[in-house]
Structure 1
């Protein structure tokens, strides 16, 4: 496979981000969720307004995985006040790692994950944490394989449905 480039996402990339964001979320969760809940979530979380706000936030960063000029996956990390929970200045949150379905199992997620760890180290974070849906077994085993351990649970709302996310963390050693 050709070289995959990891590149920071800027405002000019917003339409590409919206496209891959909606597509990968839909591919990952549509089978297990009601159509109207999916639509509502995608319309809210992946609107141009919402993505503009997130891209302009200095405590969040987005990165594409690019193959032959095409985005095939993306990463979103948060630090400081932008973390969805914990808000620990010594931590970095991986909010999203999504990869287009046809590239699953091709180490794209691993490259994005390694980028997140590199950012965490550059920021001298003591640990990295994330929330992952308990039914997303692929993702749970991916993070366990990378050394994450479960430390809590929280409720994630998708439309009118409540789902349980496992909260996992990885302590970084220098």
Structure 2
């Protein structure tokens, strides 16, 4: 998409990542969850301290999508022990591709995914993997379109509720 740039995030991007993360997660999942569970998840997963630690983790990679100077999305990748679920050293996890709702359908997610693929290849990884909520058909279709296939499932805790994520992967070599 013209006008969208993807750049590696720095510690200075903490506020941007928190804002996009909280807004995007809330917009996507609030209609399907209780207010209590949503608030608890947002407080735990998007606290300044937690995200600052993730930004400073050498095994995690953040990229910010901008249109001009306006942040419109971000990507979070994990390798090694930073992965949210144990995978081998040849894996790169896509933990988050978050795009502001007013940029849905404008290929920002695709550009962020392509940055994930580029990063995995540069790091010599054999496959990309991720977890996606079973009731998020838009995201599932996006990943299937990009060559991911389901290989397992795991439980995602949303406050006091347990939900099922489909684990998907794409083999690179």
Same fold by TM-score greater than 0.5: yes
- Scaled to the shorter chain, the TM-score interval is over 0.9
State the SS of the aligned residue for 2:19: helix
Gaps of 5+ in 1: none
Query: CA offsets per residue over residues 125-171 of structure 1, 9 Å max, x none?
Result: 00000000000010000000001000000000000111000000000
Per mean C-alpha deviation after superposition, the further-off stretch among 12-21 and 112-121 is 12-21
Number of aligned residue pairs: 173
TM-score by length of 2: 0.98
Distance 2:43 2:105 in 1: 28
Aligned runs of 1:158-169 on 2, under 5 Å? Answer: 158-169=158-169
Note the C-alpha offset of 1:2.
3.8
Q: C-alpha displacement at 1:88, in angstroms?
A: 1.0
Shift of 1:103: 0.7
4+ residue runs over 3 A deviation? none
Q: How far apart, in 2, do the equivalents of 1:55 and 1:102 lie?
A: 25
| Alignment-derived partner of residue 44 in structure 2 | 44
Identify the residue that residue 68 of structure 2 maps to in structure 1. Answer: 68
Matches within 5 A, 1:1-174: 2-173=2-173
Indicate the SS of the match to 2:92: strand
CA distance in 1 between counterparts of 2:4 and 2:123 reads: 24
Deviations 1:81-123 (A, max 9, x none): 1111133100100000010111111100000000000000001
Structure 2 portions without partners, runs of 5+: none
Q: Give the Cα–Cα distance (whole angstroms) in 2 for the partners of residues 51 and 85 of structure 1.
A: 18
CA distance in 2, matches of 1:136, 1:159: 18
Distance in 2 of aligned mates of 1:126 and 1:30:
35
RMSD, aligned CA: 0.9
